[in-house]
Amino acid sequence: MTRREWQRLRWGVFFISPWIIGFLAFTLYPIVASFVFSFTDFNAINFSPSWVGLDNYTSLLTDDNRFWVSLQNTLTYAGILIPVATIFNVFTAVLLNLDVRGRSVYRTIFFLPVLVPSVAAAMTWVWILNPDRGLINGLLSYVGIPGPLWLASPSTALLSLVLIAIWGGGQAIVIYLAGLQDIPRHLYEAAEIDGANAWNRAIHVTVPLLTPQVLFNVITLLIFSFQAFAEPFIMTGGGPADSTLLYALNLYQRAFQDLKMGYASAMAWILFLLILTLTLLVFRMAQRWVVYER
């Protein structure tokens, strides 16, 4: 490199140094530290970690029943949320893509939940889903339908969290809208000339060419499902009867209530491996159904 190139490099490093320092201090160091702490018995009060090797991982996989309960709840949550939210968001995006009067207003309404802070949204939904004085059960009572217990029943609490997650899916709808508008119009015209009705055009044109957006949103929902924390923490605390004890909430309780930082670090790395494995599996399967050609 010439002297002038070295000077440019030094000035470039100087200007991006705040980001480099932030990355090293607040991203890279916590990642490395959590990996080391996962092999220790680390209490957050006395700050004297002692090496225990694989004991934390062994205890998680063999002795900790709450670990398996939280993992099962999270897998159930993801298994319901991903297909239901995908179908609902695609259907909503198709409707919002129609050339109707007031279309921009409808799009704004569906995107507004994204702008609501998660804590405020959770507190609002606690009132809406209240079995006695909630808005939904109040409306159901007017037509003579007894409302469910929602968050107060183990059979409906997890489904209530799924409902709230679907309600906040405006960002995915916008992505699907962008994908729909990117589909060439001449493909629909060619299909219509060949005699394809609206259903056939949707199945053979819209859905295949929307699969890249579906793949992106499925992976996003997968990661969100395993990291869901604010809603169960605020609304249910993991109850009733551990029915909404999701993985991230269990990790938080281990770290900041039981003060077992080493144990929680081991849980975090298991979570990382789970998300990585499932994401790679989705990418591998996507080669069979995602269409990138235009």
Closest CA to 215 of 283, 272, 275, 167: 283
pLDDT at 37 over 70: yes
CA angle 152-157-162, nearest 5°?
150
Q: How far apart are CA 55 and CA 134, in angstroms?
A: 46
Residue 284's contacts (CB-CB under 8 Å, 6 or more residues apart) are none
How many residues are listed for the chain in this entry?
A: 294
How far apart CA 144 and CA 245 sit, in angstroms, is 33
Structure tokens at 234: 């605020």
Which of 144, 148, 156, 154 lies closest to 131, judged by CA?
148
Answer whether 0.85 is exceeded by the pTM: yes
* Each residue's pLDDT tens digit, 180-222: 998 888 888 898 888 888 889 888 899 999 999 999 999 999 9
Query: What is the rounded CA–CA span in Å between residue 222 and residue 81?
Result: 9
102-129 pLDDT, tens digit per residue, is: 889 999 999 999 999 999 999 999 999 9
* CATH 1.10.3720.10 fits domain 55-286: yes
Amino acid at 76: T
DSSP 98: S
pLDDT at 25: 95
Q: Please say whether the dihedral angle defined by the alpha carbons of residues 180, 183, 185 and 189, taken in this order, is positive or negative.
A: negative
Peptide bond into 240 cis (omega under 30): yes
Task: Extract the runs of DSSP E, i.e. beta strands, from 132-246.
Answer: none
Per residue in 242-269, pLDDT (tens digit) is: 999 999 999 999 999 999 999 999 999 9
Would you list the domain boundaries of the chain?
55-286
Q: Of 170, 79, 74, 78, whose CA–CA distance to 121 is shortest?
A: 170
